[in-house]
A and B are shown apart, each in its own frame.
Chain A
Amino acid sequence: MTKLQVRVWRGGADGSFQPFEVPRQASQSVLDAVTYIQRVLDPTLAYRFACRVGMCGSCAMTVNGVARWTCRTHVDKVARDGRLEIAPLRSLPVVRDLVTDMREFFDKWSRAKGVFRGARSRRDAFARVAPRSAQRLSVEAGIECIGCAVCYASCDVVAQNPAYLGPAALNRAWTLLNDVRDVTQAERLRAVAGDAGCHACHSQMGCTERCPKGIAPTASIAGLKRAAAKALLAGAL
């Protein structure tokens, strides 16, 4: 049976890679390889996963230098000469081994006003949103985000400016900005257009290139920039 040579990050920020040999299997995912190590070779290995089918967003790691969702990444696709190097996501504090502290990532969602606030109660009628309207289609393009932080770890601006809200939080803000039922749009625009917000994006599309859900946060951020400019010119920012 052929073996995979897998180097896995161990310890905190000042840790190092530890080599393992993992039996190669058909249709093996990177997460399968990590799970094999934890179950068979070293039960002290810390890593995260939940759904194994690309829905929960908890299994993202840096695989051969690139941020990926490991449960849906085939070893075939990413191994180089039968070698894998697996590290925690970039730009997030390492708790231990492959586990990062994602608090800052999600705190930024709330700083970007990523929470829906409507005005209707359950006694009111349903809002009617035309499914093919431009705004609804903008929501559609960004709404399937699973919060995996692959985009965040792939963004050089996040790496250079730790205050930058980042692609996921800004994409979330954009989907809400296009939600006609939401009543906190002015506040949201002010929250996302500050110096750590949408204008800091360089539009180089690292996030868009890597998002496993095919979302284009760059386009969402460009939308926020335009919306902020419009609001400014209308005296509403």
Chain B
Amino acid sequence: MSARHETLLWVAQRASAALLALCVVVHLATMIYAIQGGLTAAEILGRTRGNPGWLAFYSLFVAAIAVHAPIGLRPVLGEWLRWRGMSREVFLVALALALAVLGMRAVLGMFG
């Protein structure tokens, strides 16, 4: 792969990591705050349904994961399984799409 491609992946990895750091903190803090005094699924859905703020936040979270996880897995596949070349890239794009689809399914379920 070219220098451009590798560097683009590196920048994407750093940018998504920064987003994830923020998202995870907000996610955990909200959970800890919301769960005080016990909580049911119905209560959670009552707060998230139809709330565009949470929809936007968790969509961003999913996007960051879909970018970050496959790029992180890439060198693991290369170094441990000696899997490099085009087939690896195709697999990782498929993984990114799967993460995005599954993640967005959950997000939309929480919103709608």
Q: Which residues of A contact B (CB under 8 A)?
A: 157, 160-161, 189-195, 197, 199-200, 202, 225, 228-229, 231-233, 237
Q: Are A237 and B7 in contact (CB under 8 A)?
A: yes
Q: Are B3 and A228 in contact (CB under 8 A)?
A: yes
**When A189-B3, A197-B3, A237-B3 are in contact, do A160 and B79 touch as well, CB less than 8 Å?**
yes
State how many residues of chain B have any CB contact under 8 Å with chain A.
17
Q: Are A197 and B79 in contact (CB under 8 A)?
A: no
- List 6 A-B pairs, Cβ < 8 Å: A157-B79, A160-B78, A194-B1, A199-B9, A229-B7, A237-B3
| A74–B9 alpha-carbon span in the complex (Å) | 44
Q: Which residues of A contact B10 (CB under 8 A)?
A: 199, 225, 228-229
Q: Which residues of A contact B1 (CB under 8 A)?
A: 194-195
Q: Are B7 and A228 in contact (CB under 8 A)?
A: yes
Q: Are B7 and A193 in contact (CB under 8 A)?
A: yes
In angstroms, how far is the closest chain A Cβ from the Cβ of B35? Answer: 36
Q: Which residues of B contact A191 (CB under 8 A)?
A: 3
B36 within 8 A of A: no
| A231–B8 alpha-carbon span in the complex (Å) | 11
Nearest neighbor of A163 in chain B, beta-carbon distance: B84
Nearest neighbor of A232 in chain B, beta-carbon distance: B7
**When A228-B10, A229-B11, A232-B11 are in contact, do A237 and B4 touch as well, CB less than 8 Å?**
yes
In angstroms, how far is the closest chain A Cβ from the Cβ of B69? Answer: 17
Q: Are A232 and B79 in contact (CB under 8 A)?
A: no
| A237–B2 alpha-carbon span in the complex (Å) | 10
Q: Which residues of A contact B78 (CB under 8 A)?
A: 160-161
In angstroms, how far is the closest chain A Cβ from the Cβ of B7? Answer: 4
From B6, B8, B10, B79, residue with most partner A Cβ within 10 Å: B6
| A169–B2 alpha-carbon span in the complex (Å) | 18
Nearest neighbor of A229 in chain B, beta-carbon distance: B11
Q: Are B11 and A233 in contact (CB under 8 A)?
A: yes
Task: Produce 1/0 per residue, B47-61, CB < 8 A to A.
Answer: 000000000000000
Task: Produce 1/0 per residue, B71-112, CB < 8 A to A.
Answer: 000010011100010000000000000000000000000000
Q: Which residues of A contact B79 (CB under 8 A)?
A: 157, 160-161
Q: Which residues of A contact B9 (CB under 8 A)?
A: 199
| A229–B12 alpha-carbon span in the complex (Å) | 10
| A237–B14 alpha-carbon span in the complex (Å) | 18
Nearest neighbor of A227 in chain B, beta-carbon distance: B7
| A225–B14 alpha-carbon span in the complex (Å) | 11
Nearest neighbor of B84 in chain A, beta-carbon distance: A195
In angstroms, how far is the closest chain A Cβ from the Cβ of B9? Answer: 7
| A208–B6 alpha-carbon span in the complex (Å) | 24
Please name 9 further chain A to chain B contacts, defined as beta carbons within 8 Å, in addition to the given A195-B5, A199-B7, A233-B11, sorted by A numbering. A157-B79, A160-B78, A160-B80, A189-B3, A190-B2, A228-B7, A229-B11, A231-B7, A232-B8
| A25–B1 alpha-carbon span in the complex (Å) | 53
Q: Which residues of B contact A197 (CB under 8 A)?
A: 3, 6
| A194–B78 alpha-carbon span in the complex (Å) | 14
Nearest neighbor of A164 in chain B, beta-carbon distance: B79
